[in-house]
Amino acid sequence: MSILGGYKELRERLKSVRLWSVMAVTLGILVIVALWGVNQYKGKANYHNYLTNMWHRAFFDMVGYVQNIQALLSKAEVSGDDRQRAVLYTEVWRNAFAAQENLSQLPIENNVALERTAKYLTQVGDLSFSLSKQLMSGKKETLLQQKQLKKLRAYADKLSNNLNELAIEISQGRLRWGEVRVVGTSRFRRIAQNVTSSRMLAVEAGFKDYPTLIYDGPFSDHISRQTPKGLPEKLISKEQAKKIALNFLNFKRADIVNYLGLSGDRIKVYTFEIIPDRRIRDRTITIAISKKGGKVIWMIDNRASSSPKIGVAKAKENAKKFLIEKGFANMIDTFYLKQDNTALINYIYQQNGVKIYPDMVKVRVALDTGQIVGFDATAYYMSHTSRKIPKPAISERQARNFISKNFDVQSVSLAIIPLDSGKEVFTYEFLGKYDGKYFADYINAITGKEENILEIIKDPNGILSM
Amino acid sequence: MGKILKRYSLFILLLLISFILSIYSAKLIYDIKRASYENIEKKLEKALESTDKEVLNEFIETQGSTSYQNKDLYLLARVINGEARGEPYVGQVAIGAVIINRTKHPGFPKTISGVIYQPGAFTCVSDGQINAKLEPTALKAARDALNGWDPTNGCIYYYNPAKTTNKWIWSRKVMLVIGKHRFAK
């Protein structure tokens, strides 16, 4: 008899096998689900192992680097040879940056909270690097620098000890990396936070009274505390700032003006969001006015530009006119960049034929209407001041002797350039070619030291330096 | 033998069907998931292709001293896209600026990728929103941030007060509010 027989027959058969079949189907599904689950679990365990290995690698590498920093710094304290110390300092720099890189990969729920430990590692490396450069130029460490180093070494000792304790617990399996999951139940998160994260945060607490460090490097504490040189002293109110903003944009009135806040550590600014026309809500202009001096520091107009109707030459003309109108005299254009149907042009100040690179203003011109849609004078107001530029102590010909013979010089001028440490130097700027590429080589006009080399990239979209 | 087979034929058939069905449905689920991933990847590739190719050879100069290469542009744009889709344009530039401010701050990694992939630093990285479809405004905002515009004026933190439960972040001093985000020091 076939099971495809009559309906009645089938019903009867079904009755007899119903119980069995239901059980069998359930069992079958259970088995399949179980197999699938085991498979999933295996996959998850694999990933977990893989991640744990990566975290262990990062952690143990970091412990090693911190130990190296401590050892290298004490060696430098003992060493009496300048060249030897210069080498030791570069080693500290390398180890410190590697340590910080690994620290920032540790699966702490909120890795960002390890900010002070990271800052210590950055500064110990940065300071060492600047000392190494100082020693190479023939200057010994000052008493203050020796004191700073000793303090930093003491922190390295402490950090190294704390991390070693953690390392032992981790390698004995007593401490595990918590799950780096932001989503999940709160209980799960609490458990994760209770283990290694909190131990790392305890290490972080060791840097609570970490001192302010001032030295010759880009991550020194003085960088964020620089005060603007180019702003008038008078303080202005929020209401005055609003007027200045509307004036700058040549608006008699605007439909909506929103005040966003007072912010900034080097230049305090009132930031406003301006919607010129209520009906065109998505066009907004954001503008920042300095509290000190009431100057427009930057402006962004988000109006989208349509296809270009003017060229870069015309854009430069408009930008120059705009700068003169806003009171920036003696500005010359340097680099430019075409993107999003706009041209971004960098202007620098020129004093008696000397290019002043730190005094930089960026102007963005829309290539459809020629309108100014962006402006940034942060760099200009930070550094602009009436400078007394000395006469070069070495002649152009002498300076040429300090550059490579392979470098095919095409033009020379005098320039003041900014250094990473925030200082300025007076230099000869040699523009030229090497191996088909463009470079700018800067030779100190007083000492003859090579201060910087920039590669200049020219392509259809602009001229840039890097 | 035949008798047993006849007796249980329906049961065996049902078992077989259920077995095939569950395998088939498991495979179906797998395929759907996989397809959605592939779809995201394809969309991303398309988005990358459509944004003008010349940009790929372009280097962006900021503030005279630090320069960022193009690889950072897309990474930055993706985070902006994941964190601030639907936010005002300046709010998007601000997210990019916070990331760049961190690279210049001693307490953070020194590269844009280092800052972005720091565990727990950005929600969109943890939950995969970073791979969402790239909107052109995010790319434009990323360019503005790389070119040095900083609507936050030096902030290194931000959060959405409606979504954040992290007590630690609430302790930072709020400097300004753009859209739904609070920017802090």
Sign of the CA dihedral A112, A117, A118, A123?
positive
Q: What is the mean pLDDT of residues A8-21?
A: 73
Structure tokens at B20: 């095939």
Q: How far apart, in whole angstroms, are the C-alpha atoms of residue A431 and residue A417?
A: 14
pLDDT of amino acid A298: 96
**B168 interaction partners in chain A (CB closer than 8 Å):** 110, 113
One-character DSSP codes across A272-303: EEEES-TTSTT--EEEEEETBT--EEEEEE-P
Contact of B107 with chain A, judged by CB distance below 8 Å, is answered with: yes
Phi, psi (deg, nearest 5) at residue A381: -70, -25
Report which of residues A331 and B66 the model is more confident about: A331
The hierarchical CATH code for the domain A396-465 is 3.10.450
- The answer to whether residue A4 scores a pLDDT higher than 90 is no
pLDDT of amino acid A90: 96
Q: What is the pLDDT of residues A28-60, one digit of tens each?
A: 999 999 999 999 999 988 988 888 888 889 999
Task: Write the residue in A33, A119, A462 that is nearest to B106 by C-beta.
Answer: A119
Say yes or no for a CB contact (<8 Å) between A346 and B143: no
pLDDT of amino acid B86: 86
Task: Write the residue in A116, A182, A219 that is nearest to B120 by C-beta.
Answer: A182
**B65 interaction partners in chain A (CB closer than 8 Å):** 218, 418, 420
Say yes or no for a CB contact (<8 Å) between A265 and B185: yes
Q: How far apart, in whole angstroms, are the C-alpha atoms of residue B10 and residue B6?
A: 8
Domain edges within chain B: 62-153
Domain edges within chain A: 46-181+195-206, 238-383, 396-465
Structure tokens at A289: 């006015």
Residue A235 is classified by DSSP as B
Mean pLDDT of chain A: 89
- The answer to whether residue A8 scores a pLDDT higher than 80 is no
- The pTM (predicted TM-score) of the whole model is 0.81
**A339 interaction partners in chain B (CB closer than 8 Å):** 55, 58, 143
Say yes or no for a CB contact (<8 Å) between B106 and A219: yes
Structure tokens at A135: 């020693």
Domain B62-153, what architecture? Answer: Orthogonal Bundle (1.10)
Strands A296-301 and A331-339: unpaired
Say yes or no for a CB contact (<8 Å) between A105 and B117: yes
Contact of B50 with chain A, judged by CB distance below 8 Å, is answered with: no
Say yes or no for a CB contact (<8 Å) between B168 and A113: yes
Per-residue pLDDT band at A254 (split at 50, 70, 90) = confident
Per-residue pLDDT band at B62 (split at 50, 70, 90) = very low
Contact of B27 with chain A, judged by CB distance below 8 Å, is answered with: no
